[in-house]
Structure 1
Amino acid sequence: MSFTPLHRALGLTPRPLTNEILESAIEAGVAEIDDLDWKSELPPVKNLSQTDVPKDIAAMANSGGGMIIYGVKENQKAATGRKDTGELTESHERAYRSVAITAISPPVFGLDIHQLGTETKAVAVTVPASVDGPHLIYRNDYFGAPLRNDADTVWMKERQIEAMYRARFDERRRATEALDSLFAEAAEGRDTDDRAWFVAAAHPRIPSVLLRPTRDEAREIFDRARNVTLTYSNRNGVHPLENVEYSNPRPGLRRWTAPNTATSDSANWKEAWASVHHDGSVTLATSVGGHRSGPKGDYLEGWQLEGRAVEAAIADFTALIRATATSLPHEEYEIRVGIEWSGQQPLSVLTIDNHGFTYDGASTPLRKFTPVRSTINAATSDPEFHRQVHELAQDCVNQGGLTYLHVVKALPEATD
């Protein structure tokens, strides 16, 4: 679902952007404003970085995001008609995205590019809001920070650039505080004196309006996550999402929670809780210490945890991010992943031998697990998302002295 400046100008509710919406905007004579820019021609691929494209993208990103539409004629800033842009080729789109990354600093990621129309074509480029401003463009030895001022693009003065840098640092601090608060809330009340807990939280980098998904929508997110996780992981570990009430999530404070279903005495060793918040945040907490292990059904100590249990938890956590980002939608997430343990014994992360049995000969005792912080792009391609999950799993199990992953699958081979 989309909600663009065209939707707002026409008084439409969120829905996919279509050629009909563009036609309606032109008929209504919608005028350019801060977040809407009409362009009659699509710039050529050759020397694209030397055109106004980097300036236009950076100006939109610096102004809170917006939309550039090619193939629309205007008069006195108001749309008056269409002008065919021709076919948007794959190489043209690739070059456009490349310019947003290579000709702008910091890069602008997450452009949404659509071709509209069949006979008379147009190209709509949505530039997302950014918390990394000011975005600068360079020309030879000079640089500048463009900014939208109503329908015009102007250059920031020194004080504006200073204020935007300050806003960037303030936003990073606020985002870190919000993430740490989510993490602490997910860890609250867990019996970390008796067994180690995997706790993870994710918060969208770009805050959005609370969408308040329905129970059915929340159910779909949890169900989709259960399928997504198995695209880059196997069943060699205990998956937390298989131990929560995903089909009947419970309402909470601006969130939906999938409560634990491993409640019996014989199953509570794999207790798990998952939540999807209305603002797109995600949390997961699951017991990873004291799991059942071995052919006789023995139990590990609370300070002993299998690396594959941690991997499975990471796979499910990232799958929940991916599924939530698809539904709400969001792109980049700040994440924090940790193992909470307050007992006296050092943590021991166990691997498995060639026969699949738990083996403790490779572990490095951990007095404290260092939380792993990272940024995940939840809207990237499947292979790239898999790579992010793989790196996160490695960062976590490597702390315990383990080298190899057993649940998160090997990375797919790169293709040209």
Structure 2
Amino acid sequence: MARSWTRLHEHLGRPMGPLTHEMVLEAVATKLGETDDLDWKESLPTFVPTPGIWNEFAKDVTAMANTRGGLLVYGVTDDIEAVGIDLAEVNEQQLTQTLRNGVQPYLSGVDMIPLTAPGGDGPDFLIVDVTPSELAPHFQHGWERKDKDRATFNAPYRVGSDTFYMSEHQVARAYQERFSRQERADAALVELGQQAATVVLGESDPGSAWLIVAGRPSRPVPRLVPAPSRDEAKKVLLDGIKTAARLRLRHDPYGAFGVLQDRINNGMHVGLRRWVDSNILVPELRSHQPGAMVELHHDGGVVVCVDLSHPLPPQVGTAMVDTWTLPTTLNEAVAVIDAHRKSRLLDSTVDITAAIVAHSNNGSDFRFLPYGYGSGQPSPIERSRRPRRVLPATTELPPIADDEVLQTTANDLVEGLLHQFGINTH
């Protein structure tokens, strides 16, 4: 997602907003010098492999991602003269592929912004906008010529207008900072799920069991980015439900029926930096269906909560869970998480956790039963365990997820929960 506040905005005294052709010309006219987050480039990058020479494009982008992000502006000389480039020669796919093949770990948050002169009168520019990476340090593959060609692996970073390579102690410190960021992200994800669990358990009867699924992008949307509208939030939920139905139909001709589409009406009420849809929170909108709640957070986070309680009357000290609702809901939750990530224009990994919770003061254990009323009392699934606590299942949704990846991600969560009951999902 292209940033709305950059070195050009700061230098020109502009409010937040998209980068424009006129802003580049004005920065050039005022001779804005290069810094660690601004690099003027006269010509487009070349991709002819040359032994002993780094790929300059991958090096420059990686250096900015490892520092604090920044702009590469193609079409301006080192003397800060606007000469322009031929936008027809820009091969965005090749630029992106260069980063995929030459930088580890995967580097997201890079935007290509072509700026055409108004009316075709003047130089054209290409801006490569690089956000600071939460996964720094990133390493660039390259070739070094000494006695013979050999592969090298370095972590570039910027100091002013120059690029250097991290020493061992700098790499160690960068990893420490990354792990600290990950710890904070993990804590934020846990808190997201715990807050939702507190809400839904407070609205449900003792003995009920809830599935709580929380997803949070590794690089959330900053607060200054405009929040999604109600209609945009409604579309996200609808798109996720449709995707989940399509995935189920691939394996089950009767699998289009889902949990969320049955329990909530996609009304979307405003919440604290989020949109919320539920059939339990508003007394006038309570339905006869078991409880469900979906939260679409403005920063890209998602929470899906569904009452897993079996239709049979609850037993004292036992939270009875049906086997159909769990995998179906996880399928829908992963699809909604992916739909919301796309709507917020995020290309980062999403950390996902799924937990089964019940009221902590009723001493419940969890018991899985087949779904449906049928005749007589359903028997527990053969040889299934009855744990008093179910550990959360965790997984990651990668930056680019097709149907197979979505299904695999949901299956990871299903197995992570059901295996704790001794239930084989195959």
Q: TM-score, normalised by structure 2?
A: 0.75
2:63 equivalent among 52, 59, 78: 59
Equivalent residues in 2 for 1:134-283, closer than 5 Å: 134-138=137-141, 139=143, 140-188=150-198, 190=201, 191=204, 193-207=206-220, 209-211=222-224, 217-234=228-245, 236-240=256-260, 243-244=263-264, 246-252=266-272, 254-261=273-280, 267-283=287-303
CA distance in 2 between counterparts of 1:177 and 1:100 reads: 30
Pair 202,10 (structure 1): closer, same or farther in 2 beyond 3 Å: farther
Pair 47,307 (structure 1): closer, same or farther in 2 beyond 3 Å: farther
Aligned AA for 2:170? Q
Moved more, 239-248 or 50-59: 239-248
- Whether the aligned pair in 2 keeps the contact of 1:111 and 1:128 (CA below 8 Å) is yes
What value does the CA root-mean-square deviation take over the aligned residues?
A: 3.6
Equivalent residues in 2 for 1:20-169, closer than 5 Å: 20-47=22-49, 50-75=54-79, 79-88=80-89, 92-117=91-116, 120-138=123-141, 139=143, 140-169=150-179
- Whether the aligned pair in 1 keeps the contact of 2:208 and 2:309 (CA below 8 Å) is yes
Aligned AA for 2:161? A
1:248 Cα offset (Å):
4.7
CA distance in 2 between counterparts of 1:274 and 1:51 reads: 45
2:251 match: none
Equivalent residues in 2 for 1:249-398, closer than 5 Å: 249-252=269-272, 254-261=273-280, 267-291=287-311, 302-308=319-325, 310-316=327-333, 318-320=335-337, 322-323=339-340, 326-327=343-344, 331-341=348-358, 344-348=364-368, 350=370, 364-365=384-385, 367=387, 369-377=390-398, 380=400, 384-398=401-415
| SS of residue matched to 1:87 | helix
- Whether the aligned pair in 1 keeps the contact of 2:240 and 2:338 (CA below 8 Å) is no
1:40 Cα offset (Å):
0.9
Pair 310,11 (structure 1): closer, same or farther in 2 beyond 3 Å: farther
CA distance in 1 between counterparts of 2:310 and 2:189 reads: 28
Mind listing any 5+ residue stretches in structure 2 that lack a counterpart?
A: 144-149, 246-254, 373-377
CA distance in 1 between counterparts of 2:238 and 2:379 reads: 30
- Whether the aligned pair in 2 keeps the contact of 1:225 and 1:316 (CA below 8 Å) is no
Mind listing any 5+ residue stretches in structure 1 that lack a counterpart?
A: 292-297, 353-357, 405-416
| SS of residue matched to 1:82 | coil
| SS of residue matched to 1:81 | coil
Indicate the percent of aligned positions where both proteins have the same amino acid.
22
Pair 47,26 (structure 1): closer, same or farther in 2 beyond 3 Å: same
1:75-105: per-residue Cα shift (whole Å, max 9, x none)?
A: 1xxx32133244245xx43332222232223
Pair 213,103 (structure 1): closer, same or farther in 2 beyond 3 Å: closer
Moved more, 305-314 or 31-40: 305-314
Aligned AA for 1:61? A
| SS of residue matched to 2:88 | coil
How many positions carry a matched residue from both structures? 381
1:345-389: per-residue Cα shift (whole Å, max 9, x none)?
A: 54427579xxxxx998689556354422223346x4xxx243332
- Whether the aligned pair in 2 keeps the contact of 1:183 and 1:199 (CA below 8 Å) is yes
Pair 245,232 (structure 1): closer, same or farther in 2 beyond 3 Å: closer
Pair 324,55 (structure 1): closer, same or farther in 2 beyond 3 Å: closer
Which structure would you say has the larger Rg?
Answer: 2
Q: TM-score, normalised by structure 1?
A: 0.77
CA distance in 2 between counterparts of 1:131 and 1:192 reads: 41
1:205 Cα offset (Å):
1.5
- Whether the aligned pair in 2 keeps the contact of 1:87 and 1:121 (CA below 8 Å) is no
